[in-house]
Each structure stands twice: as structure tokens, then as C-alpha cells.
Amino acid sequence: MEGTEQRRTTLSNDLARSVVSMVNDRDLQPGDPLDSLKSLASRFDVAVPTMREALRRLEGLGVLEFRHGSGIYVGNKARRRVLSNPLVPKPDKKQLLELLEARRQIEPQLARYGAEVRDVEGLRWLTETHAKARIKVAERDQTLWLTNLDFHRAVAATSGNAILGEVLDSILLVHGDHQKEILRLHGDAVDDFRQHTQIAEAIRAGEPDRAYFLSKEHLDHVISVITKRFY
């Protein structure tokens, strides 16, 4: 069973990499339309669900954008030089905890800064991703981890500082599969959402110290849970 899952993941990653190559070869720009899901599946000779999974990975990285009722478009991160390694193996405890520790050193300060600045576009994104996460938690949607990534990125965006946003992106997006594993091990999407709600409320209310404390407390809790899961 594990071998089947590994082959499936490898195929999905290979497809994602091929789609990125296709976008680059065609010199497609953010906002340009891509072939339909069915056409891409036919092009790469795979089943539609397999193709969809690969495209969803790219959506999580911001390389592609799905527009309901319209199609698939090149996303605003398509030209990024820093993307996740599609061949990265399943993360181990040390890698996950190192990632979480890096985030703990950065994200609380970003939450504090965001609560001070409250950039309009950042707040809009924060509200949108939070609302989307609420629906996915209720529906037990397996793509919740992607929305959670966007939530943390939106927190950084409330600072209005694009460079800081890219710093966090370089951690979250490059280690996207690690983030997915962290959510799986955490296992309590409802409690995770509750903590996200508190952080969002503190930022919107312009409470820097509270935003900092809640963000740090959230990551402290996740680190504690992940540590226990490995014993």
C-alpha cells in the first residue's frame, strides 16, 4: 500500500513539473488561460483525477489558478524562482520540527506587524481565506491544508510589506508537502481553525501584542502535538 501511495505521489509531482515546463515553454504569463483539465489529462496520458491532483498542487503554489465556471489560468506565482522540490521525500520528525521552529521565529512578529499596519489588501485576503477555511473544515475537505497555507501567507500580507511576504512564502511554499504532513499529524482541524480565528480577530482589531502572543501560542501548540505524535 505504501509503495502504491509513493508511486502515485511521484506521478503527481512529475506531472506538476511537466505542466510548469509547458507554461515556461509557451511563455505564458499570469492570467493567461491554460488547456482544459480533460485536454491536459489527454496530453499527458493520465486519468483526469490524477491530472487534477497535480494541478491542485500547482494551485497551492500559486502557479495556477482555478476559476469556477471559467477554467484554469496561469497564477501570479508562475514566474517565481523558488518553488517546492517535487521529488522531496516524506518529511521526518526532525524536518517537520525544524520547519515549525523557523516559523515560530518569524510568524508571531509578522502577526504583530500586521496588526499594526492592517494593510487593506492583506486584510481582504485574510478574510477571504478564513471564510474559505471555515467551509473546508465543515466539509472535511482534503485541500484544507492549501487554504491554511494561504491563511498564514495572508497574515504576512497584512503587514503590507511584499519582501516579508516573500520571505514567508519561501518557507511555506517550498515546504508545502511538509505543511500537509503537519496538518495530518495535528489531526484537529476544528481546533486549528479556532486558533486561526483568534489570530485573525486580533489583527483586524489592531492588537499587535495579542496577535503576537496568539500566533506564538498557536505554533507552540502545533510543535507540542507534532512532537508527541512521534512517540
61: cell is: 503554489
Residue 33 DSSP symbol:
B
| Mean pLDDT value of segment 194-201 | 98
Q: Any idea where the domains of the chain sit in the sequence?
A: 2-74, 93-229
pLDDT (tens digit per residue) in 21-56: 888 888 888 899 999 999 999 998 888 888 888 898
CB 186 within 8 A of CB 221: no
Q: Which CATH superfamily groups domain 93-229?
A: GntR ligand-binding domain-like (1.20.120.530)
Higher-scoring residue by pLDDT: 65, 142: 65
∠157-124-197 over CA atoms, to 5°?
A: 85
pLDDT (tens digit per residue) in 165-182: 888 987 887 677 778 788
Report the topology of domain 2-74. Answer: Arc Repressor Mutant, subunit A (1.10.10)
Q: Would the pTM of this model clear 0.85, i.e. be above it?
A: no
What is the C-alpha separation between 225 and 141, in angstroms, rounded? 21
Question: Phi, psi (5° rounding) for residue 71?
Answer: 140, -160
What mean pLDDT value characterizes the chain? Answer: 86
pLDDT at 231: 62
Q: Three-class SS of residue 185? A: helix
The torsion defined by the Cα of 86, 88, 91 and 97, in degrees rounded to 10, comes to: -90
Contacts of 177 (CB under 8 A, 6+ apart): 84, 88, 90, 91
